[in-house]
Amino acid sequence: MQGLVGRFARTVTAVRRGRLVRWYSGGGDDGVEDVQARELIDRQLKLAPAGGHQVLIVQPYIKWGPKKDRSTKPDVKLDESRSLVRTLDEWSVTDTLLVGLTSYRKHTFFGPGNVDAIALRVARDRRITAVFVSVNVLKPIQHQHLEHRFGVPVYDRYLMVVQIFRRHAVTREAKLQVALAELPYIWSRIRGTQDGYTERLGTEAGQIALSGKLMYDDKKDLLKAYEKKLKKLVDKLRSHRQHLRYNRSNKDLPVVAIVGYTNAGKTSLVRALTGDAGLVPKDCLFATLDVTVHGGVLPCNMTVLYIDTIGFISDIPTRLIEPFVATLEDAMFADVIVHVRDMSHPDVVAQKAHVEETLKTLSINPDLLNNVIDVGNKVDRLENIENDGSSVLISCTTGKGLDELKKKIERQIIKTTGRRIIKIRVRTGRDEYEWLRTHTAIVNIDTDGDYSVMEVIVTQSDLDVFKSLFIRKNINN
């Protein structure tokens, strides 16, 4: 015990000296209340030890009835659950279990027979250090019951995705949004304490630190103040992104938002379209948490901005994604949306439906939503594939279909932004010639003596400026 108290004392000393890693703020000036709030949240989130966990995945599913998920199969959901665990470098899958149910029990989730069977499997396999029950979110009372019976930490999809978000959040923006995404879960656990739910502290040191000191009202006040601070910072983030969008619109650069299910190949597509070798796609879920912007050039020589967005995933609470709306708004204000799908995935139809439903919740302009460019990626992994003409089939690996996709994006941008393709005969090398080279996208130039016939893509506003500067000026002279 003395050694435990000594470690705790050293931890407190480190906090007092300002050496505590302030995960969400990037090392900003946090008060004691912020430190306490983070400690409380970290315990509730069951952050894994340095060596990660060896996990038993339990994939429940409804066998029949109105609540049965008919859009996918249990083994496909189990594969996605495996991918979630393997996304965390130090974690590994020790064993898996499919459990068919007629309903989810209110207080215990599983029936007593299934709980006993899972508990026995955990007890017999000493390698198992955690159980992942792959459902949206467990109720506090269900969570408490299962952890008590299994004797190891229990994770639901919410907790698992939060672990991944924390690992993949690099910028301060992403960390802020992850921190805000954690709070609804914490609130449900804290309110559970008031209802007689015994709080599950992650370490003995944590129990010593908070025993008798943070009752429900204290925790509630602590979280309220912390949540208020986070929302204020995220509002600043939203204002900052609005400013960036305003600057982009002033430069009149078309914006193409790349969206899709997580790991469908969004970053790979942006790299293929822009030729940006600095982009390094990762074969894992939620590799991208920050919305990033990359410049590219279409066949008509028009410069566009491609926006790489966070991926979507099914069976997690919408409130886990809500804080990321500040960055997903970039898709809402794009000129064109490109929806990327992994055609090699067995659940591609269900994934498409999930992304489309999520987009509908973002208040996107109906015209923009009705003209989404559907892209089927990873076709190099398939031997035979039929195309009904509604999708552009591509492979970011081999380059197949990319030229066709660029032309389709080009046509859609010209249509949605009101641009025009026109030919203008001007004197080669003179002011009007140089102005067109600077302010328009040059499709083609044919030289005819001292004159050039320039085929350009131009916005109406730039065309009006050109007329004012050169055509009307010449007439007046």
Q: What is the residue-wise DSSP string for 429-455?
A: TSHHHHHHHHHSEEEEEEEETTEEEEE
Residue 362's identity, in one-letter code, is L
**Sheet containing 130-133: order of strands:** 92-101, 54-62, 130-133, 154-155
Burial class (CB in 10 A: 0-12, 13-18, 19+), 76: middle
Residue 61, annotated ligand binder?
no
Burial class (CB in 10 A: 0-12, 13-18, 19+), 408: middle
Q: Over the Cα atoms of the chain, what is R_g?
A: 27
Neighbours of 65 (CB within 10 A): 8
Residue 289, annotated ligand binder?
yes
Residue 296, annotated ligand binder?
no
Tokens of 168: 């993949």
Residue 46, annotated ligand binder?
no
Rounded Cα–Cα distance for residues 58 and 76 (Å):
13
Residues in Cβ contact with 194 at an 8 Å cutoff, skipping those fewer than 6 apart: 216
Residue 376, annotated ligand binder?
no
- Give the C-alpha distances (Å, rounded to integers) separating 322 from 230, 289, 310, 312, 357: 14, 13, 12, 12, 14
Residue 266, annotated ligand binder?
yes
Phi, psi of 132 (to 5 degrees): -105, 105
Residue 109, annotated ligand binder?
no
Report the interhelical angle of 140-150 vs 172-194 (nearest 10°). 90
Residue 311, annotated ligand binder?
yes
Give bridge partners of residue 131 from the DSSP assignment: 56, 154
Residue 444, annotated ligand binder?
no
What single DSSP character describes residue 312? Answer: B
Phi, psi of 259 (to 5 degrees): -125, 165
Residue 450, annotated ligand binder?
no
Rounded Cα–Cα distance for residues 181 and 83 (Å):
21
Q: To which H or E segment does residue 462 belong?
A: helix 460-466
Residue 397, annotated ligand binder?
yes
Rounded Cα–Cα distance for residues 323 and 183 (Å):
10
Residue 395, annotated ligand binder?
yes
Tokens of 339: 């929806």
Q: Is 425 helix (H, G, I), strand (E, B) or coil?
A: strand
Residue 217, annotated ligand binder?
no
Residue 451, annotated ligand binder?
no
In the chain, how long is the greatest CA-to-CA distance? 95
Residue 440, annotated ligand binder?
no
Residue 318, annotated ligand binder?
no
Residue 377, annotated ligand binder?
yes
Residue 265, annotated ligand binder?
yes
Residue 309, annotated ligand binder?
yes
Residue 286, annotated ligand binder?
yes
Give bridge partners of residue 96 from the DSSP assignment: 57
Residues making up the binding site for Mg(2+): 267, 288
Residues making up the binding site: 260-267, 286-290, 308-311, 377-380, 395-397
Residues making up the binding site for GTP: 260-267, 286-290, 308-311, 377-380, 395-397
